[in-house]
Amino acid sequence: MSLLKPRKSRDAAAPLPVHDLEAGGAFPARPFVAVVPGEAVPLIPLDLPEALKGAARERVARRQLRDAYGGSETGLDARPARLGPSSEMWQRMLVTQAATREDWARAIAPAGALCRAILPDFLALPAAPDLWVIEADDARIRARLGLEDGFAAEPDLAMALLQEAVETAPPR
């Protein structure tokens, strides 16, 4: 997944339009953010010491991912999730299959530089400190839990994730 750091638009107050890459259709004629199914790009929480910064932080994060999820990064694309007010103190990584990320990159290539980022769809939901935004239909639930957390999942799994979130860090 090509998670690009969104560039500041000339009109910082105007949000960029969102284009659902899986739904297809014509790309917007102005800068936009492409979204992909959040189920394919989980936001994995890590336990990173505050003293770690830069490349060392990323090395330790990758080691934690390997230790927790099978000892190998082969075939995975993992990127720091620089969310919230302190992008240097990130505590989560966005992880997807490398082949899936490559498919998304090929699909978005005709848009060129107009595509400012490819993000999981749950990160396109509105966000604010201590605010939860939840969007549901019969097949899936997308949730944005504050500035630095979120997920997309089928309803039974989503309910378990929401229950855990309520127990550990409920919204105000």
Q: 57: which residues sit within 8 A by CB, 6+ positions away?
A: 48, 80, 88, 90
- Determine which helix (DSSP H) or strand (DSSP E) holds 55, and give its type and residue range: helix 54-68
User: Above 80 in pLDDT, residue 16?
Assistant: yes
pTM of this prediction? 0.86
Give the whole-angstrom CA distance, residue 62 versus residue 74. 12
Give the whole-angstrom CA distance, residue 31 versus residue 156. 36
Q: 58, exposed or middle or buried, with CB in 10 Å at 0-12, 13-18, 19+?
A: middle
Which amino acid, 70? G
User: Above 80 in pLDDT, residue 88?
Assistant: yes
**What pLDDT sits at residue 9?**
44
For 104-152, the pLDDT digits (tens) are: 999 999 999 999 999 999 999 999 998 999 999 999 999 999 999 999 9
